[in-house]
Structure 1
Amino acid sequence: MFAAATSFFARSNISASYNLSSSSTPGSRSSTPGPSNSSSSPTYSPPLNIGLWRVQSATHKVTNKRVSVWSFDKRSPEMERLRPLAKDRTLEVLKAEASSLTRLRHPSILEMVEPLEDTRTELIFATEPVLSSLELSIPGMGRTPIVDLDEVEIQKGILQICKGLSFLHSSAQLIHSNLGTESIIINSSGDWKIAGLGLTIPLMAPGGGPTRWEFPTFDGHVPSYIQRSFDYMAPEYALDEQLLTASDMFSLGCVIYAVHCKGRPPFKNHGSLSGLRDNAGKPVPAMESLDPDLQNLLRTLITRQATSRPTPTTLPSYPFFSSLPISTLNFLDRSTFATKTREEKISFMKGLASVLERFSEGLRTRKILPSLLEEMKDTHLLPYILPNVFSISNILSAPQFAGMVLPSLKPLFVIKEPPQNMLTLLDNLLMLQNKTDKNTFREQVLPLVYNALESEHAVVQERALKTVPELCESIDYAEVQGVLFPRVAMVFSKTRVLTVKVATLTTFLAMVKTLDQSSLTQKLVPLLSKIRTKEPAVTMATLNVQEAMGMKVDREAVATLVLPQLWTMSMGPLLNLDQFQRFMGVIRKLGERVEEEHKQFLRDSQRLEDRSATAMNGNGSQAAGSVDFASLVGRANGASVKPDSEASTGWDDDPWATMLNDDPPSFQTSPAMPTSPVTLPPVRSMPSSPQQSTFQSRPSPLGGGASTATPTPFSFPSPPLSRPSLNSMTSAMPAFPSGPPKPNYNISLSTTPIMSSNPQPQPQPPKPNYNISLTPSAPMAATTPPMFTSSPMMAAPLTMGSGVLAPSKPAQPSWSTASKPSKDDWADFDPLG
């Protein structure tokens, strides 16, 4: 409980209000972080050790503002080893540093965000986001530089330090007295800031007199961070006991030398006053490899005579700072750029694109880009600012672009004037798509294309139309179908500019492979049919669209919609011979496609009909034109099957059973057609009765055995009957009533082939024709075999009525009373089979 209470009271307001990188989900540090006011998700830098301070990235829990939190642990092992006086001195210098940052406000001095909090266990305050100290960014110090420094960035940083020193000397009346590589901080924008203000010396004492000079000492038992470094100390301070602002310029010269010489100061004094005295009059060593202008600058700064050194205001005029990139940065500085005229700003933005490559990526990203984004508020400068913004954006990652640049570009997507803005944005549409995710591009960037299509300037519409083909391949089909295509169609319908009309047709050509057949036939084809101009450029562009569309839609649409339009347009009076032949080639190409596909469709339809007919008529149906069953069976068994004839057909069963149970052949009769008799096996005699006048066909006897009944001859009437199914005929016949004996008939069948009225030969083999004559016969003896005769002249016609086949004469008894059949004789008889 005591530990929990101690932790609670030791907790600061900063730790309660901010998410520190060590206590929140850390992200990988970006090589080119964006500005501190970026609305994107924060990227945390790893903790830094600057002097005695531990610096961590943090984000405010409410506002998401990014800061750097500086903390010093009072219980650290370093503090435990110090004597009480050393501890007090350490805490005194650290508190003075934080208090100075709170009191001193200048663009070149590290900005304090949250004031110092002195808790039981630590000192803590928050500043603007920090990337590194200058010491940690100098190459050759045995570590990987946190920030890559090039010559331009070094020159820019030195000039910024000069501005900060000028403020301290003239406005604050302070001498820094401890300026070195560890007391210069590089913020997230790449600016150099003055820190380490815990040992500043005021020029005037609180009572109004000059400040009392203090003898410099160096204690090896005290942290070096809270002591003045003898390697950067001006000789007049240590040797002449003078308090001069020029001493800071000597220290600045040592810093410039260390930056260009891998972190080594010009002289190593090792904390000794005698060493400083020995090196005070010596020339600056090892400068042969440095730039001549830099050598000249260092000789004027690192000198024994304080009065010969340049001041912070005169240093920028030296030739070392006269390069074009430095002049560019000076011109773009926020404090001076606002005072320039619009014509000067336009000239500057035009020339900036030619010198951007001379700046490092970090400098372009951290320094130049934020300045350009701030100037985008002036819409008249946008056509000249945007090319530079997109040039720098190419080196940004997608998250950096989305956080830094896209929020400033989004308001421009709806601004149609001046048209140069739209043209520049459309020229960089591919880069915008690559730098944003799919949803962001659809919701925030695509409105740019839609607004450009609605522009009143033809050149903007043409540029927007040129971007559509690539968009069709990258965005969702629903977006193309429901939003993009209707807008392009609207431009096509309203424009009166020939170049825009041709551009829309070119766009339609690219959209053909994306749109479905329904959209093409229901929307695009009617749209193209409304073209009234005869200009060859429009006509030929339309031909290309129709050709591509004709190879995608179905054959009916090609035949009924596309080809008629092509024929009409081919008659255009302004077409030359080559253009007309191009039309004819497309027409033939599409016509051949329609012909081949429709022929195949008809073949498939006929094949389907044949299969359906076969399925309905049964297997082996000769009437449907299928393969002859007998021939099929004969080929399968390797032998031929003889056709049914008078000599080869054996009638073991009743013929009526065959005709009733199987699919019957066509029954037709004609008086002029000869018949040939067919002898049938004998059938059982049946008694006839005058009361029985209904004719019923007799089935085959069951159980084998010859019948003894004697039939009487009968025949079908003329004219020939139609071809009903015998099964259907018999299904309508009433059943035989039980009662008196039935009449007997002599049946003669003819196998004369049926003669069709159609003179064309039939593919089916001839089928037997049965001329059946039915005449009552005289009673015959039971032992007399029945005789079946066939005659072309029928004794009496039969009448068809109510589905019943009846004889024309009264029924005659067919057997004598002496031989009446018994009840058992009718036991197996079924007249309908």
Structure 2
Amino acid sequence: MLAAATSFFSRTAISQSYNIGNPNGSRSSTPTPSGPSASVTHTLPASVRVGLWKVQGATHKVTSKRVSVWTFDKRAEMEGLGPLSKERVLEVMKAEAAALSKLRHPSILEMVEPLEETRNELIFATEPILSSLDMSISRGSHYTSLVELDEIEIQKGILQLCKGLSFLHSSAKLIHSNLKPECVIINEAGDWKISGLGLTIPLLTADGSPSKWEFPGFDGRVPPYIQRSFDYIAPEYALDEVLVTASDMYSLAAVMYAVHCKGKPPFQNHGSLGGLRDNAGRPVPDIGDLDTDLQDLLRSLITRGSQSRPTPSTLPSHPFFSSLPISTLNFLDRSNFTAKTREEKISFMKGLTSVLGRFSEGLRIRKILPSLLEEMKDTHLLPYILPNVFVISNILSPTQFAQLVLPNLKPLFTVKDPPQNMLTLLDNLEMLQSKTEKGVFREQVLPLVYNALESEHAMVQERALGVVPDLCETIDYGEVSGVLFPRVALVFTKTKLLSVKVATLVTFLSMVKTLDQTNLTQKLCPLLSRIRTKEPAVMMATLAVQEAMGSKVDREAVASLVLPQLWSMSMGPLLNVQQFQRFMTVIRKLGDRVEKEHNQFLRDSQRIEDRSTPANGVASPNFDSGVDFVTLVGRNNANIKPDTVIDTSKSWDDDVWGSIFNDSHETTGQSVATSTIQTISPPPAPPTQLPLTQSLPSSPRLVTDTTLSRPPRFGAKPLPSSSFDRSTLATHPQPARSHRISSPPSQLQSISTHSTLPAAAPQKPNYNISLGDISATPSNTFASPPSYNAPNYTMTTMSPHLMSSAPLQSSPLSMTSMLTPMQPTRIVTASKPVTKDDWSDFDPLR
């Protein structure tokens, strides 16, 4: 319970409001080590020591404001001290915190939370700091400084201390009297701030009288931090017992000397007044290797008397501080820059780019970059500030860029005027992409490109189109096809400027290798087909896009979409000979591709079809495949229609094939002519060849023959009967005889007039067609041709459109078409007269 109570009473408002000990509290923007030239090349520890103070980074629990919390542990730091010494230590420590809370100046450490005291500690909070100057002085290769300092940063820091001393002397009427490296603080921005104000001496007392001199005694029992250092104290203060502000200028010179000489003061007096007296008035030692201007400055400050020393207001005019980088920093200082005119600011920003390389990385990040970002509120200065911002951003890590720069750039991505802003941002888009994560770039940076494409300024649109090719290779395909390509296409359709039109075509050319065939054929090709201008620049740019697409899309798209437009454009009246030849070269190239690929496609298709025919059991349309007709017909005997009459006296093995009676035309006659196809198996003896004069003519004539009477009870018109003109088929009359094929009652009987031709070979049937003499059979009997040794097939009636489309001696495909039944018909036998009962199942509407 005692421990809990002690912990409760030791809690302070600072400890309750802040997360103390957060490493990011005071160093979130500390640069990541990037090489030996980096100004800040080491990761800072979780806490630093400044005299007796322990300084830790902290973050406010609500506002996330970052501070540095200073804590003095009474028990640890005053262990072993007597009561008077403890009282003296607490007095100086409290006086230091109280002075910081009262004094407000850019060169004095800023207090954020006032001092709080508990039983065990003193605690207050200030602005975030990096280190004390004492811990940042380079002391050799074996010593690691927290902040590496170059000459420009040292000069800048000395000038800042001069401003702080000027404020103390003239405004606060104080003498610091204890200025030393431990009392100089480097904040997060790299600025040097005055601290250690626990031993300040007022020039005047409360009643206005001059303050009394205090003996600067040194007590070895008390920590050195709360005592004036005899190594940095002015001789006139210790020896002459005078209080003058010039004493602080001596201490400032001793600090400058220590910074340039690895932390050693000009004279080491070891806390002895006698040593101080002995060294007073001696020349400054070991300055031969320093800059001549610096040597002259140190000699004018480290003197026995105070009258000749420069003051804080005159010191900046010394030649040592007249370098261009220092003048640049002075001009950029907030107190000076805000008073400059816009023309002066623009001139300064133009020249700053060439000077930035002379500053250290740490100084650029901690000092110059924040000043530039603060001035970005003036949009008229943005075209001149942004180049400098991007030069510094190149040395930032992605984390630093996301924290320091990107939040200030986001509002600019939608600002379209002046157009120079977007031009500068687009020129540095690659750097923006390299410094941001993929998701952040898509959500926060890509809108810059989309807004630039919608700009009213042609230069901005062209610059935005110029960055699209690189984006296509780095961002997701869905973003390219779904967002980026439609926006470029919108620019292409709306623009009326020739340069922008050509720029969009160049962009399309780069996007061809990224887009898939669907987008190319369904979106880009129709878009290009709308081009109506005859300007050679547009036509040649379109030719390049079409050529690229022609090697990526399929042959159908090339033949139907690409080539037609190229042929149309090639006739442009403004093209010269070389441009026309270029069109012809591309057309021939793409045409050869289409021809080659389509020929290969047709050959592959034919090969696949030929291979699949035997497996499927279906005859190929090519009747030259060698399939035997007898085998083909015999295989299909199970599919004969029920109306077919089959002669049971002959076996199907004898290749008996009934013909199909087909009537399709009506005439004024009263009878129906029938056609019969007879199949006769070849005898074993060789066939007898017919004379050449009995061969079929190439184009037989169709003649009207007699008709069969239809029963009058149906009231239907008689059907026509057509047959071949007998005179065209043979030179000699042929005897007629009737032939009947008997069939079961369930099948249709087929009778026809026969005329035969010899077969081409004895082992295969042939097809012989001739006209029977129907007029010789008035009693409805049909003539049969004389028997020959080879089987023959005879037909007298045929559809006129079949006979007119191809000769009878054409390919088997024509014969197959002629033998295909058009509609079911009623066929009567030759030996039985046709009666009305034979038409009982005839449907006149069928």
Provide the TM-score with structure 2 as the length reference: 0.75
Q: Which residue of 2 aligns with 1:138?
A: 137
CA contact (8 A) 2:105 2:164 kept: yes
**Cα distance in 1, alignment partners of residues 135 and 259 from structure 2:** 11
Distance 1:808 1:436 in 2: 102
Please say if residues 614 and 626 of structure 1, whose CA atoms lie closer than 8 Å, have aligned partners that are also in contact: no
Q: Give 2:83's aligned residue.
A: 84
2:215 aligned residue: 215
CA–CA separation in structure 1 for the residues paired with 2:812 and 2:363: 96
Correspondence 1:487-498 to 2 at 5 A: 487-498=487-498
Q: Which runs of 5+ in 1 are unaligned?
A: 34-42, 630-655, 679-692, 698-714, 722-747, 764-799, 810-833
SS of aligned partner of 2:353: helix
Residue identity opposite 1:203 in structure 2? L
Match of 1:65 in 2: 65
- Residue identity opposite 2:84 in structure 1: L
The equivalent residue for 1:512 is 512
Shift of residue 112 of structure 1?
Answer: 0.2
Per the alignment, residue 458 of structure 2 pairs with 458
Residue by residue, what CA displacement relative to the aligned partner does 1:616-666 show, whole Å, maximum 9, x if unpaired?
327x9999877889xxxxxxxxxxxxxxxxxxxxxxxxxx9x988x99897
Q: Which residue of 2 aligns with 1:634?
A: none
User: Are the aligned partners of 1:472 and 1:480 in contact in 2 as well (CA < 8 Å)?
Assistant: yes
Show the 5 A alignment for 1:255-270.
255-270=255-270
Whether the 8 Å CA contact 1:369–1:392 is kept in 2: the answer is yes
Q: Does 1:231 align with 2:238?
A: no
How far off its partner does 1:330 sit?
0.7
Amino acid aligned to 1:331: F
How do residues 415-814 of structure 1 correspond to structure 2 at under 5 angstroms?
415-617=415-617, 675-676=682-683, 695=744, 718=752, 752=791, 759=809
Change in 2 beyond 3 A, CA 1:604/1:474: same
- Equivalents in 1 of 2:656, 2:237: separation in Å? 136
Matched letter for residue 93 of structure 1: V
Match of 2:252 in 1: 252
2:26/2:188 contact within 8 Å kept: no
Give the counterpart letter for 2:136 in structure 1. S
The change in CA–CA distance for 1:694 and 1:546 in structure 2 (over 3 A counts) is closer
With over 3 angstroms needed to count, the CA separation of the structure-2 counterparts of 1:624 and 1:118, relative to structure 1, is farther
Question: Residue 315 of structure 1 aligns with which residue?
Answer: 315
Q: 2:543 touches 2:583 (CA, 8 Å); kept in 1?
A: yes
TM-score (normalised: structure 1): 0.76
Q: Partner amino acid for 1:370? A: P
The more displaced of 200-209 and 241-250 is 200-209
Instruction: Name 2:698's counterpart in structure 1.
Output: none
Number of the residue aligned with 2:343: 343
Residue 547 of structure 2: SS of its match in structure 1?
Answer: helix
**Alpha-carbon offset, residue 478 of structure 1:** 2.1
Q: Which letter does structure 2 place at the counterpart of 1:145?
A: S
- Would you say the 8 A contact 2:656–2:678 is kept in 1? no
Letter in 2 for 1:675: P
What is the Cα deviation at residue 433 of structure 1? 1.0
Residue in 2 that maps onto 1:19? 19
How large is the Cα RMSD of the aligned pairs?
Answer: 3.7
Q: What residue is the counterpart of 1:777 in the other structure?
A: none
Cα distance change, pair 22–542 in 1 and its aligned pair in 2 (3 A): closer
The aligned residue for residue 768 of structure 1 is none
Matched, 1:124 2:123: yes
Please state if 1:101 is matched with 2:100. Answer: yes
Give the secondary structure class of the aligned counterpart of 2:57. strand
The superposition leaves residues 113-134 of structure 1 with CA deviations (integer Å, 9 ceiling, x where unpaired) of: 1111101221111110101111
2:70 is paired with a residue of what secondary structure?
strand
Judging changes above 3 Å, is the alpha-carbon distance between structure 1 residues 22 and 671 closer, same or farther for their aligned structure 2 residues? closer
Instruction: Indicate the SS of the match to 1:123.
Output: strand
Q: Distance in 2 between matches of 1:585 and 1:516?
A: 25
Q: 1:9 to 1:754 in 2, by over 3 A?
A: farther
Aligned residue pairs total: 685
Match of 2:113 in 1: 114
- The answer on whether the counterparts of 2:68 and 2:125 sit within 8 Å (CA) in structure 1 is yes
Structure 1 pair 254–223 and aligned structure 2 pair: CA distance change class (3 A): same
Structure 1 residues 479 and 664, CA, compared in 2 at 3 Å: closer, same or farther?
farther
Query: Which residue of 2 is the match for residue 162 of structure 1?
Result: 162
Q: Distance between the aligned counterparts of 1:622 and 1:531, measured in 2?
A: 46
The answer as to whether partners of 2:237 and 2:247 remain within 8 angstroms in 1 is yes
Corresponding letter in the other structure for 2:139? G
Shift of residue 315 of structure 1? 0.6
- Change in Cα spacing, 1:750 to 1:803, as seen in structure 2 (3 Å) is farther
Within 1, Cα distance between the matches of 2:617 and 2:579? 57
Q: State the identity %.
A: 70
Task: Give me the whole-angstrom Cα distance separating, in 1, the residues matched to 2:791 and 2:425.
Answer: 93
Write the distance in 2 (CA, Å) between the matches of 1:406 and 1:663: 96
1:189 aligns with 2:189: yes
CA distance in 2, matches of 1:237, 1:569: 95
* Partner SS for 1:81: coil
Distance 2:565 2:26 in 1: 65
Contact kept? 1:32, 1:366, Cα under 8 Å: no
Is the alpha carbon distance of 1:563 and 1:664 closer, same or farther for their aligned partners in structure 2, counting shifts above 3 Å? farther
Distance 1:301 1:580, change over 3 A: same
Counterpart of 1:528, as a letter, is: L
- Provide the C-alpha distance between the structure 1 equivalents of 2:78 and 2:95, rounded to a whole number of angstroms: 18
8 Å CA contact 1:112–1:127 kept in 2: the answer is yes
Instruction: Give the secondary-structure state (helix, strand or coil) at the position aligned to 1:381.
Output: helix
User: Which structure 2 residues correspond to residues 300-449 of structure 1 after superposition, within 5 A?
Assistant: 300-449=300-449
How far, CA to CA, are the matches of 1:801 and 1:431 in structure 2?
84
Q: Distance in 2 between matches of 1:517 and 1:361?
A: 49
> What letter corresponds to residue 562 of structure 2 in structure 1?
V
Give the match for residue 273 of structure 1: 273
Q: Shift of the alpha carbon at 1:75?
A: 2.2
599 and 216 in structure 1: CA distance in 2 versus 1, 3 angstrom threshold: same
**C-alpha distance in 1, partners of 2:179/2:399?**
37
Aligned equivalents of 1:551, 1:298: Cα separation in 2: 77
Q: Is the 8 A contact 2:750 2:827 kept in 1?
A: no
- Displacement of 1:577 after TM fit? 1.3
Change (3 A) 1:754 1:62: farther
Which residue of the partner structure matches residue 740 of structure 1? none
| Secondary structure at 1:70 match in 2 | strand
Conserved? CA contact 1:694–1:805, under 8 Å: no
Shift of 1:444: 1.7
Give CA deviations for 1:224-251 in whole Å, capped at 9, x if unaligned.
Answer: 1111111001111111111111111110
Q: Is the 8 A contact 2:161 2:193 kept in 1?
A: yes
Unpaired runs of 5+ in structure 2? Answer: 34-42, 629-647, 660-675, 686-741, 756-786, 796-806, 814-822, 833-846
**2:147 corresponds to:** 147
| Residue of structure 2 equivalent to 1:782 | none
Q: Deviations over 1:404-437 (max 9, x none)?
A: 1112222222222222112111111111111111
* Greater Cα shift, 157-166 or 371-380: 371-380
Task: Tell me the CA shift for residue 760 of structure 1.
Answer: 6.8
Letter in 1 for 2:258: A
Distance 2:375 2:540 in 1: 47
1:605–1:144 Cα change, 3 Å = same
- Measure how far apart 1:209 and its partner are: 2.0
Distance 2:286 2:297 in 1: 14
Shift, 1:602, TM fit: 2.3
- Amino acid corresponding to residue 244 of structure 2 in structure 1: L
Which residue does 1:177 correspond to in 2? 177
Paired amino acid for 1:377: K
Which moved further from structure 2: 325-334 or 548-557?
548-557
- Cα distance in structure 2, aligned partners of 1:25 and 1:340: 35
Letter in 1 for 2:599: K
